[in-house]
Structure 1
Amino acid sequence: MKSQFQKKTAKNTESVCSKPSCFFCTMNEPDPSLRKARIIKAFQDLPLRNDQEHVLALSSLWNIAMTQPNDPEFPSLGIFECMAKLIHKGINDKKWLLSHQNIYIPYYAAHTIGSYTMNKVQFAEKAVESGVVFPLIELMRGKITWVEQRVAVRALAHIASHEKIFEEAIGVNEVEIVELAMEIAMTCLKEVFDKFVGLEPSKRLRYHCDLVTRGLGGLEIESRKAEEWASQIQCWSLNLLNCFACKEKSLNLICKREFLIELCGVWGGLANPTSPAVIKLLRSLCQTKIGRQSVANLQEVIRALCNLSRSSDDWQLMAIDCLLLLLKDPETRHKTMEVSVVFLVDLVELRSIGGRPKVGDTITQALLQDYHKIKYGDLIFQRKKVERALKETWDLKVDRKRREKLMSEQEIRERKSMVRQLKQQGNLNFWSGNIEKAVMEYTEALHMCPLKMRKDRLVLHSNRAQCYLLLRNPEAVISDTTRALCLSSAVSPHGKSLWRRSQAYDMKGLAKESLIDCVTFVHGRMKSGQTERAEIPSYAARMINKQMNKTWLFAPAKSRSSNNHEELLESPGDSESLN
């Protein structure tokens, strides 16, 4: 029975092959023992020859590695040594690299290594034994272009992810690999913009265009795929750093102040939504003593984690985990508390998230673990708002629960009636333009409303958020909408609260958070059938357009290149009032 590779190549070789040493004929050899011997010989000969068959052979090997990464045939017959030699030859023999179509070969070779080492530790062991690490590091150094650098980072990240061979694979190159990965993570977007996206179409390297489009062509496809690839370079370099952080290696390098601060600004837009690269690295750092101390000393990093913890981002739970790790360490608790408590207090009623139950209770325990010291004056916080937030948490999660358990049914009924009246009065004042009065009535209703009336409290928080929105108080809007969303269903979050929080984040200049909330809001409306013909509301479309412009992956690079930041950020919705 023919292999999948044989089936794929048979059609081509039947009509065009005229050489007894043809690589594709070797792959299609029906005799198993002869096929094995010929493949071994082919892998030995490929780096020594110079003909046009190289690119076709490498392209086919890459395709098989991508579709069948767990197939042991080629790894057992010498493919890693062959790929390493081809990369080495491309770096050191420019004449060979620029002849025929050999310019494609180092890319395909590195990509093939990365695919075969992705899942199987035994393949990764064989790759390291075959000497692939040094040629990959050479590509990481930028010896050819960013295209080859991308697949080299990918391959090294896969190799380093296998704990069994980590030391052997990295060895004496640890410091250089870490420094290169850090540099690539912070500069790759500018590199791709300057060397490809920002160039006139006629000035882009032809082989780069062919690789990113796979022959489909078209300027729009080229630019879109280049953006995706740039995001991948960044994510894979951060994943590589995460391999070191998990093993507590080179933490003194990774935890440099400048790098951690710059890391907080890294976001891949929507081009690579499945990779938690940045927050995954930060969580790994927070699981180490050195990492926690470094993060706790940087309010910018803590604040970025706090913003993520109060967002619709898929990695919200990871941000919460980071903050909890910092709060549970006595050496980092105090510094973290002074920044994070005013954010986390909005999440104490969060139920399940990411499959983890009672997340809000876990946050409450972390915040209140030494509350008695604050209450009785043994622990002094410099900021009154921290003390107020902790007192509010204590009242909501401890005192109020205890009081309501002791209430009679008659008292509960009376409170429910009072809440309805206050809500109606708040609504009347809101529509009559007396916004401050409406805030007061919604606030009183929230104090009266029993905790079990989650839906009523949700609406009150969301209504009060709308008032704060009109009063241009974005932080209060975010607080109230976050509380409303914690009270709503995780499967179907409260739409109005998402939209209001998106507007508040826009006021604060937090474009990423605004965009994610707005996209989640639109998704919910379309899913529930609230829009005719699945059309995005115009106001939401304007917000998405505005924030997509601001969060475009290459926005900083284009800004530096054009020296015209204001023109870059302008969009049709910028001048319109949120009200």
Structure 2
Amino acid sequence: MDHFSSNCTNKMTRTHVVVGSRPCCFFCAFEEKDPCLRKTWLELALRDMHMTRDDTELALILSFIWRFAMADPENPELPSLGVFECMTRLMKKGLEDVEWVMTGQNVYVPYYAAHIIGSYTMKKPEFAAKAVESGVIAPFLELMRGNMTWVEQRVVVRALGHLASYERTFEAVAAYEDEVVRLAMEIATTCVDVVYGEFVSVQEREGRVTYHSDLLTRGLGGLEMEDRKAEEWASQLQCWSLHLLNCFAYKQRSISLICNKFFLKELSLMWGGLVNHTSPSSIGLIRILCYTKQGRRHISESKEVILSLCNLSRSSDDWQYMGIDCLLLLLKDQETRYKVLETSLFYLVDLVELKALNDRENLGDRIARVLLMDYNTKKACVYTHKAQKALKELWRNKVERRNRERKLLSEKLTETSVVVNLIKQQATQMLCLGDIEGAIKCYNEAIGLCPLKLRRKRMILYSQRGECYLLLGDVDAAISDCTRALCLSEPVNSHGKSLWTRSRAYDIKGLSRESLMDCIMFVNSRCFRGKIPYYATQMISKQMEATWLFEEARASKIRRMMLKEKNHLTGLSTITEEPGKKKEGMMMQRKKHVPLV
């Protein structure tokens, strides 16, 4: 606050309001102790702010209001004095007056105006209603259409997501439903390529849009920091676009539009990543779609989405439970059950010994019941021989074996446990001698005998058999056994050896995301006292590079460059799209601006 006050020495050159004969800039009004004067001056300052001539001060004021809104988004003072009307006028001016927005630091105005609205509407529906009444949706749509840049799209999509989240303001957004949904789908699909192509891939400071660099790092970071922030912002833009789609899907609106098969294929690849790990990203939208009959039908027909859900269900990702939820919803629906069972069965069967996951009690039993829904009916005959065999094994282990063990005396269970230990020792000796297949046979026998109640012992047996399978190159069997071991661990997904084995197996299969999650969990589950083993750091580094948000965009650009060079060398012409018209305004001229204070 003192910093801003020191800038108010020449008040007559600044935006000011006059009460009697006393001029006052916005910052002085904000510091005023008299509540009546403060209210009057702030209200007048907000009313006349769009007429400000000093572009530097206007940018500073908006930056200050945004910080104030973020620090206390439920404070009613500025919303009650017309902050939404003020920001709406500024956005409209920025969109309509190209010459004005290109002057000095006015280029920052639309970004901060939209960001302020989004900050004030993220918690209170009454503020959202005030924002809608002030007419924010029209300029929001203009910015969402790309009339400026992806930076403004990011804050607009966030704000529209807030407005669409409330009952009181949803219909105001839904009045433009078809366009909003299509734009959100387009942004979610293309934003990573756009941010990479327009910013990250430009490795010379002079080539980057200056005000983008300033907003990303407040003018204090180098190229590396700008790239990291650009990755975070691109991920947020994608996730917030998906959240906006969520708001419509939740109300069962535009389901057929969202479930476009090409979009669903892209959706299966969208991941919030480590830079935005608090957002469920694509899985959040997929789960909402799975709650509707129409959505389940479309999801069940997308092989890419089903495979993505299956891999997620057998991972240590925070959203594992969402993947399981989606598969169970699809399996309970008789219309979609037989489309997804053949694929999902061999993933879910490894999870039937789960006790609890994210407050879902007896999840393993629920999974088993859903898989065995029609086991003893005529409908089971439609399954392949392999599926029928898996279901039969599940029935024996989950139902018949449990019932049989309940009747055994505790003495008998103790005797069985001793036998299991002896077989386990024999397996260890064979493994030391290099007889991996012999060790697997011993583990098979031990697992078949080991009582279901001895969860920790079963966990160790599965984990060691999984390691043997990996040594033999049977990657799928290794993943299956390690998943079963991790379901038996307390808490779930905490057994270090199983996590490391499965991480290596996923690496061999090329499932970088799953491998990365397991390796991070492995490091967190072990007390390395600050010294992470080299092999673990190497794996994490490898998978982080493979799962980098811009990796596909980078690879696509390299492929295009190679194809262009190849065609040039062979003398062939290439068919390229006609260059689109350059957007009017500041972003294409890439005018340099003074960094924002």
When the two structures are superposed, what TM-score results if normalisation uses the length of structure 1?
0.92
Asked whether the equivalents of residues 13 and 25 of structure 1 are also in contact (C-alpha less than 8 Å), the reply is: no
Query: How far off its partner does 1:445 sit?
Result: 0.8
Asked whether the equivalents of residues 62 and 113 of structure 2 are also in contact (C-alpha less than 8 Å), the reply is: yes
Asked whether the equivalents of residues 83 and 113 of structure 1 are also in contact (C-alpha less than 8 Å), the reply is: yes
Partner Cα separation in structure 1 for residue 66 and residue 257 of structure 2: 34
1:548 aligns with 2:544: yes
* Matching residue within 181, 184, 205 for 1:181: 184
Q: Match for residue 111 of structure 2?
A: 107
Secondary structure in structure 1 of the residue aligned to 2:357: coil
Secondary structure in structure 1 of the residue aligned to 2:546: helix
Structure 1 residues 564 and 509: CA distance shift in structure 2, 3 A: farther
Query: How far off its partner does 1:169 sit?
Result: 3.0
Secondary structure in structure 2 of the residue aligned to 1:312: coil
Q: Match for residue 467 of structure 1?
A: 468
Query: How far off its partner does 1:414 sit?
Result: 3.4
Query: How far off its partner does 1:28 sit?
Result: 2.5
* Matching residue within 21, 26, 29 for 1:23: 26
Pairing 1:52-71 to 2, within 5 Å after superposition: 52=55, 53-71=57-75
Matching residue's letter, 2:391:
L
Asked whether the equivalents of residues 185 and 242 of structure 2 are also in contact (C-alpha less than 8 Å), the reply is: yes
Partner Cα separation in structure 2 for residue 28 and residue 363 of structure 1: 61
1:340 aligns with 2:348: no
Structure 1 residues 8 and 167: CA distance shift in structure 2, 3 A: farther
1:193 aligns with 2:196: yes
Ranked by relative contact order (alpha carbons within 8 Å, sequence separation 6 or more), the top structure is 2
* Matching residue within 209, 220, 232 for 1:216: 220
* Matching residue within 241, 251, 255 for 1:251: 255
Q: Deviations over 1:114-160 (max 9, x none)?
A: 00110000000000010001111111111111111111111111111
Matching residue's letter, 1:111:
H
Q: Deviations over 1:318-363 (max 9, x none)?
A: 1111111111111111112111111110001101111221111111
Query: How far off its partner does 1:387 sit?
Result: 1.3
Q: Deviations over 1:226-265 (max 9, x none)?
A: 1110110011000000001100111111011111111111
Query: How far off its partner does 1:8 sit?
Result: 5.8
Secondary structure in structure 1 of the residue aligned to 2:381: coil
Q: Match for residue 397 of structure 1?
A: 398
Matching residue's letter, 1:213:
T
1:48 aligns with 2:51: yes
Q: Match for residue 3 of structure 1?
A: none
Query: How far off its partner does 1:429 sit?
Result: 1.3
Partner Cα separation in structure 2 for residue 413 and residue 524 of structure 1: 30
Structure 1, 466-475 or 18-27: larger mean CA deviation: 18-27
Q: Match for residue 300 of structure 2?
A: 296
Structure 1 residues 342 and 565: CA distance shift in structure 2, 3 A: farther
Partner Cα separation in structure 1 for residue 50 and residue 423 of structure 2: 81
1:12 aligns with 2:2: no
Pairing 1:299-448 to 2, within 5 Å after superposition: 299-373=303-377, 377-448=378-449
* Matching residue within 79, 82, 91 for 2:83: 79
Structure 1 residues 16 and 447: CA distance shift in structure 2, 3 A: farther
Query: How far off its partner does 1:492 sit?
Result: 7.0
Partner Cα separation in structure 2 for residue 564 and residue 540 of structure 1: 34
Q: Match for residue 453 of structure 2?
A: 452
Partner Cα separation in structure 2 for residue 13 and residue 246 of structure 1: 48
Query: How far off its partner does 1:81 sit?
Result: 1.3
Asked whether the equivalents of residues 519 and 544 of structure 1 are also in contact (C-alpha less than 8 Å), the reply is: yes
Partner Cα separation in structure 1 for residue 409 and residue 561 of structure 2: 62
Asked whether the equivalents of residues 11 and 24 of structure 2 are also in contact (C-alpha less than 8 Å), the reply is: no
* Structure 1 gap ranges (5+): 1-6, 567-579
Asked whether the equivalents of residues 10 and 28 of structure 1 are also in contact (C-alpha less than 8 Å), the reply is: no
Query: How far off its partner does 1:565 sit?
Result: 11
Structure 1, 140-149 or 209-218: larger mean CA deviation: 209-218
Structure 1 residues 378 and 221: CA distance shift in structure 2, 3 A: closer
Asked whether the equivalents of residues 342 and 385 of structure 1 are also in contact (C-alpha less than 8 Å), the reply is: no
Matching residue's letter, 1:358:
N
When the two structures are superposed, what TM-score results if normalisation uses the length of structure 2?
0.89
Q: Match for residue 157 of structure 1?
A: 161
Partner Cα separation in structure 1 for residue 541 and residue 498 of structure 2: 20
Asked whether the equivalents of residues 486 and 493 of structure 2 are also in contact (C-alpha less than 8 Å), the reply is: no
Partner Cα separation in structure 1 for residue 6 and residue 121 of structure 2: 29
Matching residue's letter, 1:102:
N
Partner Cα separation in structure 2 for residue 309 and residue 10 of structure 1: 52
Structure 1 residues 436 and 378: CA distance shift in structure 2, 3 A: same
Query: How far off its partner does 1:515 sit?
Result: 0.3
Matching residue's letter, 1:34:
L
Secondary structure in structure 2 of the residue aligned to 1:552: coil
Asked whether the equivalents of residues 286 and 325 of structure 1 are also in contact (C-alpha less than 8 Å), the reply is: yes
Matching residue's letter, 1:541:
T
Q: CA RMSD in A?
A: 1.7
Secondary structure in structure 1 of the residue aligned to 2:361: coil
Asked whether the equivalents of residues 271 and 281 of structure 2 are also in contact (C-alpha less than 8 Å), the reply is: no
Partner Cα separation in structure 2 for residue 164 and residue 386 of structure 1: 49
Query: How far off its partner does 1:491 sit?
Result: 6.2
Query: How far off its partner does 1:33 sit?
Result: 2.3
Partner Cα separation in structure 2 for residue 564 and residue 495 of structure 1: 42
Query: How far off its partner does 1:15 sit?
Result: 5.0
Partner Cα separation in structure 2 for residue 116 and residue 263 of structure 1: 30
Matching residue's letter, 1:116:
Y
Asked whether the equivalents of residues 344 and 363 of structure 1 are also in contact (C-alpha less than 8 Å), the reply is: yes
Q: Deviations over 1:163-193 (max 9, x none)?
A: 222012331x111000000010011011111
Asked whether the equivalents of residues 87 and 113 of structure 2 are also in contact (C-alpha less than 8 Å), the reply is: yes
Asked whether the equivalents of residues 381 and 387 of structure 1 are also in contact (C-alpha less than 8 Å), the reply is: no
Q: Deviations over 1:90-128 (max 9, x none)?
A: 112111011121000101000001001100000000000
